[in-house]
Amino acid sequence: MQIKIVKDKLAGGEAAFEMIKAGMANNAKVLGLATGSTPITLYDKMTASDLDFSNMVSVNLDEYVGLPASNDQSYHYFMNEHLFSKKPFKATYVPNGEAENVEAEVERYEKVIADNPIDIQILGIGRNGHIGFNEPGSPLDGPTHKVALTQSTIDANARFFENESDVPRYAISMGIGSIMKSKEIILMAYGEDKADAIQATVEGPVTNHVPASVLQNHANVTLILDEAAASKL
Ligand code: GLP
């Protein structure tokens, strides 16, 4: 794992942007994208740049089950708001959280990933070490699947909803196995809240109790951290 310590999330977004730019100069065609507050500075940098993404495909990590794309807490909405409405891509894929048949949707989405092998995957990290919505206990080699969110994730996301009871209980997430197939992975983390998860990811054993720790087994991973997130290393 390579670790880059940056001053703040603005510098982190710039560092990730430069890596994407270099990857695209090197023929990267598919970006794996993430939601959450962490990648926003990267998306701001992408939208403010004159880099052309119209030949690029994006594949998002996850989506809540049951939220329509028009709901401002859905990940469809988030991606449109922060990136896709401002920077046209050739194609953008996000799991369909409204699919009536969730089993068929996870299979369809795994095929999307197989047809569009990810060159560069962007990741944030949950306070409990989750990546995408792969919560502790998820199989380290699994495909896209339906996930029951843990209480810690529900609590962390509750601030975005009017009531805690409005937070979806399920999501569709790329599996850890799907994520690990990406050629290159960039994980960003900012703030003290993430310091324990980062310490366990980098220095702990590879265990599904800390899903991000599996990244130790990937040949091309960069962690972009601010000092607070790196403070327990
Ligand atoms: C959610 C997302 C993750 C994200 C995490 C952290 O659980 N599914 O992809 O990494 O939140 O979010 P934030 O970046 O807001 O801390």
Q: Is 167 in the pocket of ligand 1 (CB under 6 A)?
A: no
Nearest alpha-carbon partner for 15 in 26, 2, 28, 6: 6
Averaged in consecutive runs of 10 residues, what is the pLDDT profile of the chain (233 residues)? 98 98 98 97 98 98 95 96 98 97 97 98 96 94 94 89 92 97 98 98 98 98 98 98
Q: Residue 62: its pLDDT value, please?
A: 97
Query: Rounded CA gap, 137 and 183, in Å?
Result: 24
**Ramachandran region, residue 218 (left: φ > 0; alpha: ψ -120 to 50; beta: rest):** beta
Dihedral, 227, 229, 231, 233 alpha carbons, nearest 10: -120
CB of 34 shorter than 6 A to ligand 1 = yes
Spacing, Cα 34 to ligand 1 middle (Å) = 8
Q: Where are the domains of the chain?
A: 2-226
Question: ipTM for the complex?
Answer: 0.96
| C-alpha span between 125 and 129 (Å, rounded) | 6
Return the ligand 1 atom nearest residue 124 CA.
10
Q: Which atom of ligand 1 is nearest to the CA of 149?
A: 7
Q: Can you give the pTM of this predicted structure?
A: 0.96
Q: How many whole angstroms separate alpha carbon 1 and alpha carbon 141?
A: 19
The amino acid that residue 165 corresponds to is S
Neighbouring C-beta atoms of residue 100, cutoff 10 Å: 7
- Whether 61 lines ligand 1, by a CB cut-off of 6 Å, is yes
Unique residue bearing structure tokens 């800390």: 210
Residue 153 CB–ligand 1 contact under 6 Å: yes
- Considering only CA atoms, which residue is closest to atom 5 of ligand 1? 126
Query: Are the beta carbons of 10 and 41 closer than 8 angstroms?
Result: yes
Query: What confidence score (pLDDT) does residue 156 get?
Result: 86
Measured CA to CA, the distance from residue 190 to residue 51 in angstroms comes to 25
- Yes or no: domain 2-226 corresponds to CATH 2.40.160.60: no
